[in-house]
Amino acid sequence: MSNAIKVENLIKTYPSFALKGVSFEVPKGYITGFIGPNGAGKTTTIKSIISFLKPDGGTIELLGEKVKEGGAALEKVGVVMDTPYLVKDWTITDVEKAVMPFYSAWDGDRFKSLLDRFGIAKSLKVRELSRGMTVKLSVAISLSHGAELLILDEPTSGLDPVAREEICELLQEFVSEENHSVLFSTHITKDLESIADYIVFILHGEILYAGPKEDLMEAYGLLKGGLSDLPLLSHVHLIGLKKNSVGFEALVKKEEAVDLPKGILVEPVSLDELIIYFHRGGNKS
Ligand SMILES: Nc1ncnc2c1ncn2[C@@H]1O[C@H](COP(=O)(O)OP(=O)(O)OP(=O)(O)O)[C@@H](O)[C@H]1O
């Protein structure tokens, strides 16, 4: 399977944070969700991929081409960042005039029809757009310059469920065209549970998992039981543990959860729970 993005051994060091040799692939033709708690390194990774940041080490390939010193060729890549870069006083017509020269394949008719579909008049100023409309405008720009890969950093944060659903539908429509791919970072893992095919999970600047979503969800489970059961689980690695006055819940790798005491259940885990329990860590005492 060919890759839309290949990141190898990416290093970026800040005084109080580092990407420590991040490696993962985003397969062509699918939606890949990029997850991890606040400060895990998602935006730093995405900014490195699109050359908004200069990494300290590692290699990045975008659509089969190595990103060279001096920046990525983003002609075929649509980028939707958390903080849009558009000038607030511009009208949408001004925005189109400003972005058009950067793209040889700019399709004005497609842009107009997407704006109509999203209910965005060209006479509106950027400052008059709601957060949802701003995200849709960024997506409309990406879809109008013939992008084959969309990279989105938190596109659905701050949006109501209706707008989130619309964005998710757009992404699904986008990947339904041959060889189109999406990398999509979000805290709203519910969105990914319905639309992502692959997951990249980052914690403290390191990749914990990169692969098919179903395999990730299948590999882990939540153990639930009473507090008196905990000492009987010394042979099981509890990745993350939550206790209350009567019982406990713990994240485990299913293949390691063997010889369990009677009454202990292994239940399916959600993406949210995976993030929470990996972040929390396990301590049986
Ligand atoms: N320019 C910078 N200088 C110093 N530290 C930075 C800089 N940019 C980011 N960081 C630090 O790097 C860490 C990772 O930040 P990053 O924005 O990549 O995380 P994130 O996973 O996208 O988080 P969030 O989900 O909150 O957006 C944070 O601790 C942040 O403070």
What is the spatial distance between Cα 169 and Cα 163, in angstroms, rounded to a whole number? 10
pLDDT score, position 203: 93
Pair 165, 271 in one domain: no
**Are 40 and 97 members of one domain?**
yes
Same domain, 147 and 232: no
- The protein residue with its alpha carbon nearest to ligand 1, atom 16, reads 41
Residue 205 alpha carbon, nearest atom of ligand 1: 14
Nearest alpha carbon, ligand 1 atom 7? 14
- Same domain for 30 and 122, yes or no, is yes
Domain that holds residue 261: 220-280
Are 21 and 90 part of one and the same domain?
yes
- Token pair for 86: 């558009």
Residue 48 has pLDDT above 80, yes or no: yes
Q: CA 139, 213, 200, 181 torsion: positive or negative? A: negative
Q: How close is the Cα of 7 to the center of ligand 1, in Å?
A: 18
Shared-domain flag, residues 191 and 259: no
Using the 3D structure, point to which of 157, 176, 204 is the last residue of a domain. Answer: 204
Compute the distance between CA of residue 27 and CA of residue 29 in angstroms, rounded to an integer.
6
Residue type, 171: L
Q: Give the domain-ending residue among 152, 169, 204.
A: 204
Q: Do the domain assignments include residue 67?
A: yes
CATH number at residue 7: 3.40.50.300
In a domain, 215, yes or no: no
Local confidence band at 72 (pLDDT 50, 70, 90 cut-offs): low
Residue 55 CA, ligand 1 centroid: distance in Å: 14
The whole-chain average pLDDT of the chain stands at: 90
Expressed in angstroms and rounded, the spacing between residue 22 Cα and the centre of ligand 1 is 15
Question: Parallel, antiparallel, or unpaired: how do β-strands 181-185 and 31-35 relate?
Answer: parallel
What's the pLDDT at 84? 64
Largest CA distance in the chain: 68
For residue 213, is it within any domain? Answer: no
Atom nearest to 37 CA in ligand 1: 25
Under 8 Å between Cβ of 44 and 12:
yes
* Closest C-alpha to ligand 1, atom 8: 44
Looking up tokens 């399709």 gives 107
Distance 44 CA to ligand 1 centre (A): 6
Between CA 172 and CA 47 the distance in angstroms is 23
Instruction: Give this complex's ipTM.
Output: 0.97
Predicted confidence (pLDDT) per residue in 105-157, tens digit = 899 999 999 999 989 999 999 999 988 888 889 889 988 988 999 999 988 88
Say if residue 223's pLDDT is above 70. Answer: yes
Give the pLDDT confidence of 190-209 residue by residue, as tens digits: 888 889 999 999 999 999 99
210 belongs to a structural domain? no
Please, how many CA atoms are within 13 Å of residue 56, restricted to the half-sphere of its CB? 11
Q: Does residue 77 sit within a domain?
A: yes
183 shares a domain with 263: no
Same domain, 70 and 123: yes
285 belongs to a structural domain: no
Residue with the smallest CA separation from ligand 1 atom 6 is: 14
Query: Once rounded to an integer, what is the mean pLDDT over residues 253-279?
Result: 89
Backbone angles phi, psi at 128, to 5 degrees: -90, -5
For residue 285, pLDDT beyond 60: no
Q: Which of 177, 204, 231 is the last residue of a domain?
A: 204
Q: Residue 211 Cα, ligand 1 centroid: separation in angstroms?
A: 24
Residues 71 and 7 in one domain: yes
Q: What span, in angstroms and rounded, lies between the C-alpha atoms of 129 and 66?
A: 36
Lowest mean pLDDT, pick from 65-69, 218-222, 233-237, 281-285 = 281-285
Q: Are residues 13 and 109 in the same domain?
A: yes
Residue among 7, 13, 17, 184 whose CB has most ligand 1 atoms within 8 A, to mutate: 17
Q: Which tokens in the block code for residue 115?
A: 């704006």
**41 CA to centre of ligand 1 in angstroms:** 6
Q: Rounded CA gap, 227 and 133, in Å?
A: 49
In a domain, 230, yes or no: yes
Q: Work out how many domains the chain is built from and give that number.
A: 2
Domain shared by 247 and 271, yes or no? yes
CA of 179 to the centre of ligand 1 (A): 31
What average pLDDT does the segment 66-86 reach?
78
| Phi, psi (rounded to 5 degrees) for 192 | -70, -35
Tell me if 131 is assigned to some domain: yes
This prediction has a pTM of 0.90
Sign of torsion over alpha carbons 55, 48, 45, 9: negative
Which residues contact ligand 1 via a Cβ below 6 A? 14, 17, 36, 38-44
SS3 of the chain: helix, strand, coil, percent, to 5: 35, 30, 35
Say yes or no: 55 and 139 in one domain: yes
